[in-house]
Amino acid sequence: MKAVLAYFGCAALFSLVAAEKKNVVIDLSHHDGNVDLEAARGDGIEIVIHKCTQGLSFVDPKYSTNKATANKLGLTWAAYHFADNTNGYEQAEHFVKHAGTVRWYIVDLEENPIGVLPNTVGRAQAETLVRRIEGLTGSYPIVYGSQSFLDDLGDSEELAKCPLWVASYRSVPKMPKNWSSWLMWQYTDGSVGPTPHTVKGIGKVDRSYLNSDSL
């Protein structure tokens, strides 16, 4: 059965698909400092998602080093781009150039805490960004975001073509209206949300379930 975890607030539905999700994903950035990915692998982690770029010029200083380590350890590697309100086409070019070979390209759509609200990505930039990534790589990227932020972007056929990585720190993920299923569910930021919050070799960290039936 293909797992679909739409938000109905229904514990029975959560139980139905529980066996189809794997708690094997973490996401990192330079803010996490030095991490021991070998210890994380020993703690059951199989997939590492790492911040690569932001906007038009920023490159995460930990990206290349952690990518090399993860590849040596046989961990699946994915990269994400923190989108802002600059040119979406150019953001995509910047991201793909620096990400290199990855399992997934991911676009992070959320409020930009740096500066004032107009720094935050809008629908036009997001649609251009994912469209250009598809043009460069042959596949639409995964979209990351919360139900509230993605719904605020409005109905978008372009964004709906992207697999969803939903951020929802609760026992059942709250789904944005443009999607009926999720590929990944970020259930904790390491402090808020269901347990476990920690991973050996890192400590408190963003953790996500993988919907293995969607691969």
Which residue's entry shows tokens 């086409």? 89
Domain boundaries, the chain: 11-214
Exposure string (b/e) for 182-192, b if CB count within 10 Å is 16 or more?
A: bbbbbbbebee
Q: How far is CA 31 from CA 60, 61, 76, in A?
A: 9, 10, 21
**What pLDDT score does 30 carry?**
97
For residue 215, the model assigns a pLDDT of 58
pLDDT at 214: 63
Beta strand 58-59 with 47-54 is antiparallel
Q: Give the pLDDT of the chain (215 residues) as one tens digit per residue.
A: 233 333 333 333 333 344 489 999 999 999 999 999 999 999 999 999 999 999 999 999 999 999 999 999 999 999 999 999 999 999 999 999 999 999 999 999 999 987 665 799 999 999 999 999 999 999 999 999 999 999 999 999 999 999 999 999 999 999 999 999 999 999 999 999 999 999 999 999 999 999 977 65
CA–CA distances in Å: residue 147 to residues 53, 68, 76, 144: 23, 33, 26, 10
Q: Are strands 198-199 and 203-204 parallel, antiparallel or unpaired?
A: antiparallel
Nearest to 49 by CA among 36, 66, 34: 66
Torsions phi, psi for 48 (to 5 deg): -115, 125
Give the side-chain half-sphere CA count within 13 A for 179. 31
Half-sphere exposure of 2 toward its Cβ, with a 13 Å CA cutoff?
Answer: 8
Residue 143's closest CA among 135, 207, 133?
Answer: 133
The per-residue pLDDT for 212 is 78
Cβ–Cβ < 8 Å for 1, 209: no
Model-level pTM? Answer: 0.89
pLDDT at 20: 80
Q: Please state, in angstroms and rounded to a whole number, the distance separating the CA atoms of residues 48 and 77.
A: 5
Amino acid making up residue 133: I
Which pLDDT value is given to residue 98?
99
User: Which residues face 22 on adjacent strands?
Assistant: 210
CATH 3.20.20.80 applies to domain 11-214? yes
Give pLDDT, residue 113: 83
